[in-house]
Amino acid sequence: MTRNELHLKLISTIALEYLHSSVRDGLDRRKFLLNCRKYLTTPRERSIEDVVEVFDLLESKGLMSPGNYSILRELVWDISVDLVRIIEETEAEMGRIEVNRAAQAAMHDESDDCG
């Protein structure tokens, strides 16, 4: 799986399994949207009710991207420890992908030097 695929999986898991309006009668979703008010500054941004749209907006503002989840952790830490764990596991998997990619690149460079 690539970093982008892991990112999309993370976002969809959070949006559909934890912050969907049907989960806990939407309480966690409301709390998340309230937590986001710090970063959603215009009236239009604050009127957004769709979690995925909020994620898109956070990405467009440069506040979240594949592997950059400090703001996301801040927004969900008081909603569910499971969410924080899922974010941390995704970051760890992304780190393993980067280590493997670097190792493969180094092996490729070494084989080029030998040829």
pLDDT value at residue 110: 73
Q: Does 79 score more than 90 pLDDT?
A: yes
Report the CATH fold assignment for 3-114.
Death Domain, Fas (1.10.533)
Tell me if residue 32 falls in helix, strand or coil.
helix
Only one residue has tokens 């009127």, namely 47
pLDDT tens by residue, 16-50: 999 999 999 999 999 999 999 999 999 999 999 99
Q: What is residue 114's predicted lDDT score, i.e. its pLDDT?
A: 65
Q: Do the beta carbons of residue 86 and residue 13 sit within 8 Å?
A: yes
**What is the spatial distance between Cα 44 and Cα 72, in angstroms, rounded to a whole number?**
20
8 contacts: CB under 8 Å, gap ≥ 6: none
Please check the confidence at residue 113 and state whether its pLDDT lies above 80.
no
Alpha-carbon distance 78 to 82, whole Å? 10
Q: What is the predicted pLDDT for the residue at 107?
A: 83
Q: Which of 14-18, 22-26, 87-91, 110-114 has the lowest mean pLDDT?
A: 110-114
